Structure 1
């Protein structure tokens, strides 16, 4: 057994211990068929059929691709690219609650041009269950800089990260809203953004708070009426080693599934953060009888 593997196990054990003291718990989630020596992250469950969407990349977190696994009688199937997969790197899948629309980011070729920067895309699903042709969101939602992690909130705004100019720091959280075919885009404000990098905004299902990935840390931003309180750094049960990314809420909002670089032989793995009372999520596969 290597020293790095022992150190990784010790780190996870220490994280579990600190979580227990805080009255919350973090568990590893490594389902067969999904967990691998590669880096798995950015999970999304299809609200219509329960398929598991996620991003797989190299152990160094390079070469992102969106994959889909289906739950069968013997467990999760071998992950495959979605029917609309493009020719660039692609990541950050997210479903609207009705399952009709999927948002993601991509560098795929657009109008014959292979893009270098990540842009926000969305794809619609028809009544027959088939996905249509992905559409790149227009400027000013996308820019010549990188865009990250598009997430539609209960307040009607599409929140995302962007390295465009005009923010509070390097990469900021921004938000966009479409009205009568015109997009309004604005910085989400100082409650979300500091002088460093903020990449991934995850609104809670009930709209009362947001989980934000910042520079080496997760933060909670609480809603107060139409405004937001300044962000609070979350405790060690979720901020174990500064590599936590790609979170998704359960439908109830009581559980968060996120990825972490374990710094061991398996690289990126999924972890479950029980924010409130325990619930049976992520769903078991095959389903418990």
Structure 2
């Protein structure tokens, strides 16, 4: 609850991204590789279309010019996220599957070997994926993989769902419940690193929900310092959970920018390091 209160009272976020990460396009959904410190993110048009996964490396002169991610496929792709050990990456994609060109976004994962090379991405099976859209897969310390989906059976058009692999290849999937979901749309669930609370996005705002003995508490809308104009999206916590990056259309002709909120804890580390 203390951390949630801190974010509710957070000071105005500041723009973190600079060229070459920042461009005249829309940058969002940052994720730092725990093993290499590379920055993965989504670059799309100023209208937030045509999502592609990009990677920038921290070198002697700063962040490198972003290039296509090594696991990039055809179709649109977005929402990258690493396991804490950096050996697994989750993302969403419409890439061709088994010769089938898809239009719906599905959740994919890919593993990295000891040699540092990424393997072949694999589409998560049903019932994790559905005939609808899946968004923003984010694992939580409680063993569940949280994500957004517009599949039938929710409280609104799009809800927060969660999946758990009980046995190899055997998944349990369930709606995350009315504390997080409404008759409106909920898209992006981001559990804190310690699992104590969740940041989630609705139609036009960020909310938080605390973990209690009875489950997730009813969500609370964050303040105007965070929810400035309803374009906030794609958040990522620092390892401590005390600060976080997110994207916002700053409405000043620069399209999407990455902003930093929360405590000043020296995260992300400067590049190059002084």
TM above 0.5, one fold? yes
SS of structure 2 residue aligned to 1:263? coil
Conserved? CA contact 1:32–1:75, under 8 Å: no
Following TM superposition, by how much is the alpha carbon of 1:179 offset from its aligned partner in structure 2, in angstroms?
1.1
Aligned to 2:213: 225
Change (3 A) 1:137 1:113: same
Aligned to 2:124: 137
Give the distance between the partners of 1:84 and 1:151, measured in 2 at CA: 18
Aligned length, in residue pairs: 268
Following TM superposition, by how much is the alpha carbon of 1:33 offset from its aligned partner in structure 2, in angstroms?
1.2
Instruction: Compare the two structures and name the one with the higher helix fraction.
Output: 1
Aligned to 2:93: 106
Q: Which has the larger radius of gyration?
A: 1
Gaps of 5+ in 1: 1-18
TM-score (norm 2): 0.95
Give the distance between the partners of 1:77 and 1:146, measured in 2 at CA: 33
Aligned pairs for 1:37-186 within 5 A: 37-181=24-168, 182-186=170-174
Aligned to 1:251: 239
TM-score (norm 1): 0.90
Gaps of 5+ in 2: 1-5
Give the distance between the partners of 1:232 and 1:262, measured in 2 at CA: 24
Is 1:281 aligned with 2:267? Answer: yes
Conserved? CA contact 1:33–1:75, under 8 Å: no
Aligned pairs for 1:5-24 within 5 A: 22=9, 24=11
Following TM superposition, by how much is the alpha carbon of 1:282 offset from its aligned partner in structure 2, in angstroms?
1.5
Following TM superposition, by how much is the alpha carbon of 1:83 offset from its aligned partner in structure 2, in angstroms?
1.7
The alignment yields a C-alpha RMSD, in angstroms, of 1.5
Give the distance between the partners of 1:196 and 1:54, measured in 2 at CA: 27
Give the distance between the partners of 2:80 and 2:210, measured in 1 at CA: 24
Following TM superposition, by how much is the alpha carbon of 1:30 offset from its aligned partner in structure 2, in angstroms?
2.2
Question: Once structures 1 and 2 are overlaid, which stretch shifts more, 244-253 or 25-34?
Answer: 25-34
Following TM superposition, by how much is the alpha carbon of 1:22 offset from its aligned partner in structure 2, in angstroms?
3.9
Change (3 A) 1:65 1:23: closer
Conserved? CA contact 2:43–2:54, under 8 Å: yes
2:258 to 248, 255, 270: 270
Following TM superposition, by how much is the alpha carbon of 1:81 offset from its aligned partner in structure 2, in angstroms?
1.1
